[in-house]
Amino acid sequence: MSYAYHEPSELDEALALLARHGDDAHAVAGATAFMLLYRQGLLRPSHVVGLRRVRSLGGIRDDGGALVIGATATHREAERSPLVARHCAALARAFASVATVRVRNQATVGGNLAHADPAQDPPAMLLALDAAVTAVSPGGTREIPLAELFVDVLTTSLAPGELITAVRVPALAPGTRAAYVKFLPRTADDYATVSVAATLRRSEDGRVADVRVVLGAVGPTPIRATSAEDALRGAAPDAARIAEAAALARDAADPIDDVRGSAAYKREMARVWTERALRSLVA
Ligand SMILES: Cc1cc2nc3c(=O)[nH]c(=O)nc-3n(C[C@H](O)[C@H](O)[C@H](O)COP(=O)(O)OP(=O)(O)OC[C@H]3O[C@@H](n4cnc5c(N)ncnc54)[C@H](O)[C@@H]3O)c2cc1C
């Protein structure tokens, strides 16, 4: 099997190619996920549209306090970016948690989000940070909050031929702390067995003013553990309250049995790692 490879330098050109070839075309950025699916015969496009030369899709910038990461920025660029580190060190950590340096040098932030594998690292952290992607199609541009982007395993709400141009991470409210923890008991470059991304802000009296808890790898999409958040909001985050919230996170997890563990084990690990993440935020 073979395909025609296109390398447009303008976004309009990329969109036009995807529109012209319809179901016969597939976009690629770093091609790390694409190549695995192609080799397994799960994708058989006649036209592949490479996005890496489209300059407007790259780069990382500060936009009035919001962090904007271009779709073709690699994980390595994001991990090492002073702007990302300044915005949220835990986000830099989530990018650095992806596989190996070799994969991070190739794989892009936009490709990761569009691939929508629930065991990936950045999606959970970006959802905890209330990020949204900017998506463009011949019909126009729209913002898609991450909570609406992920629909199912390897499935997003992007329309056919629609491209992510960037992910936008809003400014964090002053005093917000964030954590990303990845539990990978097999090898250091594996996908997570369970990951937890959390943000927490306390008011002057020490109570929790705002909190977000997102679980990765334990459901068809990253899961926002809203019951755990509700247990914490307005409360003093002492050890007992954090343990209660972590138990609720366990109940929110919806994992499957696979090579990384049984569903029951992953649920329990969701509790353990949520408790650890939350404790680190109030320490
Ligand atoms: C060996 C290995 C280990 C890995 N381990 C981890 C890990 O530990 N943690 C983790 O988070 N991830 C891991 N990954 C997944 C990796 O992060 C993704 O494969 C990668 O981020 C996808 O980015 P890409 O640029 O290579 O996408 P591509 O392979 O180019 O594309 C993937 C999909 O996204 C679509 N796409 C790409 N860019 C866009 C865009 N701008 N707009 C719309 N659609 C787009 C493509 O059409 C395709 O369907 C691993 C991958 C490999 C190969």
Q: What is the mean pLDDT of residues 9-18?
A: 98
**Which CATH number belongs to the domain containing residue 108 in this structure?**
3.30.465.10
Q: How far is the CA of 114 from the centre of ligand 1 (A)?
A: 7
> What is the crossing angle of helices 263-282 and 239-252, to 10°?
150
pLDDT band at 27, cuts 50/70/90? very high
Question: Which helix (H) or strand (E) segment is 258 a member of?
Answer: none
Strand partners, 261: 258
Residues 124 and 61 in one domain: yes
Residues 198 and 154 in one domain: no
Q: Give tens-digit pLDDT for 143-187.
A: 999 999 999 999 999 999 999 999 999 999 999 999 999 999 888
Find, among 84, 166, 64, the residue nearest to 125 by Cα. 84
Contact 198, 206 (CB under 8 A): no
Which of 105, 109, 115, 120 to mutate for ligand 1's pocket (most ligand atoms within 8 Å of CB)?
A: 115
Residues 229 and 146 in one domain: no
Q: What is the mean pLDDT of residues 31-52?
A: 96
Residues 267 and 226 in one domain: yes
Q: What is the count of structural domains for the chain?
A: 3
Q: Give tens-digit pLDDT for 106-140.
A: 999 999 999 999 999 999 999 999 999 999 999 99
Among 107, 134, 169, where does a domain finish?
Answer: 169
Mean of the per-residue pLDDT values for the chain? 97
* pTM (two decimals): 0.97
Residues 28 and 94 in one domain: no
Q: Could you tell me what percent of the chain has a pLDDT over 90?
A: 97
Q: How far is the CA of 235 from the centre of ligand 1 (A)?
A: 39
Residues 61 and 161 in one domain: yes
Q: What is the mean pLDDT of residues 254-282?
A: 97
Residues 63 and 164 in one domain: yes
Q: What is the mean pLDDT of residues 99-104?
A: 97
Contact 246, 228 (CB under 8 A): yes
Residues 145 and 104 in one domain: yes
pLDDT band at 243, cuts 50/70/90? very high
Q: Could you tell me what percent of the chain has a pLDDT over 70?
A: 100
Residues 118 and 184 in one domain: no
Residues 22 and 61 in one domain: no
Q: To 10 degrees, the CA torsion angle through 103, 146, 66, 213?
A: -90
Residues 67 and 158 in one domain: yes
> How far apart (Å, rounded) are the C-alpha atoms in residues 230 and 263?
24
Q: Give tens-digit pLDDT for 184-202.
A: 988 888 999 999 999 999 9
Residue 1: pLDDT above 70? no
* Nearest atom in ligand 1 to 135's CA: 42
* ∠ Cα 71 68 184 (to 5°): 65
Find, among 278, 63, 89, the residue nearest to 169 by Cα. 63
Contact 228, 274 (CB under 8 A): yes
Range of the domain at 233: 177-282
Residue ranges with strand state E in the chain: 4-6, 25-28, 47-50, 60-63, 66-70, 132-137, 140-145, 150-152, 155-156, 163-169, 177-183, 194-202, 208-216, 223-224
Q: List pocket residues of ligand 1, CB cut-off 6 Å.
A: 26-34, 36, 51, 71, 98-99, 103, 107-108, 110-112, 114-115, 120-122, 158, 163-164, 191
Residues 194 and 108 in one domain: no
**Which CATH number belongs to the domain containing residue 243 in this structure?**
3.30.390.50
